[in-house]
Amino acid sequence: MQKLLDLTVVMIHAKVMVRERWEVVVKEFSKKSVYTQVDLRAKFMGMKCSDKANPREFLEGLRLKKEELAQAGVVVDEKDYFSVIILSLLMALSNFTSNQLAAAQFSSMKTMTPDDLLSMLMEESDRQRAQRLHRQGSGKAKDNDNEVLAGEASKSSGKGKLKNPTSNVGIVRRRGTSATSVAN
């Protein structure tokens, strides 16, 4: 069971007819509804993806939020939706977006919709994340698997001695492999 606020009850108390009371309630809550819609729209327009957030999840949430706003009676037109998408992005995806929009503008293909842009951004976000994880993973592997022994080979038992001790050549030794020389 829903209850009216005390202030609303006081406002309708003087009204005799149910119809008059209902009109006061509708008027009062319509004003509040407009304020709520404006507030929801303003929050949507100001959404930003934080540096630590997963861009794909943020973009999926942005799409969902737009649908929730539509159900609440808040209309976000295509132009504003593009603005929210572009202004909410991290720098790496912002550069990608700029390139995609420029390419779409000069191509003879169909006009790009906000949903097309969101799909491309999610794919690019996944690609950048995979690339970043690959770089981090391969960097750690190289650090663990390689030993740089510049100039140290001459101290070993005769294997791997440098032929020219004054050259800028070092020795890279990988575990389980023989030594090879590499220019510094």
At 46-67, the pLDDT tens digits run: 999 998 899 999 999 999 999 9
Q: Is residue 64 located within the same domain as residue 122?
A: yes
Q: Is residue 71 located within the same domain as residue 98?
A: yes
Q: Is residue 14 located within the same domain as residue 53?
A: yes
Q: Is 95 left (phi over 0), alpha (psi -120 to 50) or beta?
A: alpha
Closest to 118 in 3D by CA, of 158, 64, 63, 172: 63
Residue 111 falls inside a structural domain:
yes
DSSP structure class, residue 9: H
Separate counts of helices (H) and strands (E) for the chain? 6, 3
Closest to 55 in 3D by CA, of 114, 116, 128, 113: 128
Q: Is residue 107 located within the same domain as residue 172?
A: no
Q: Is residue 16 located within the same domain as residue 89?
A: yes
Residue 1 falls inside a structural domain:
no
Q: What is the pLDDT of residue 107?
A: 77
72 vs 162, residue with greater confidence = 72
What would the two tokens of residue 6 be? 């005390």
Q: Is residue 169 located within the same domain as residue 95?
A: no
Instruction: Tell me the β-bridge partners of 172.
Output: 148, 180
Residue 63 falls inside a structural domain:
yes
Domain housing 180: 149-184
Q: Which of the four pLDDT bands, split at 50, 70 and 90, describes residue 110?
A: low
Q: Is residue 21 located within the same domain as residue 101?
A: yes
Q: Is residue 104 located within the same domain as residue 180?
A: no
Q: Mean pLDDT over all residues of the chain?
A: 76
How many distinct structural domains can be found in the chain?
2
Q: Is residue 118 located within the same domain as residue 155?
A: no
pTM: 0.55
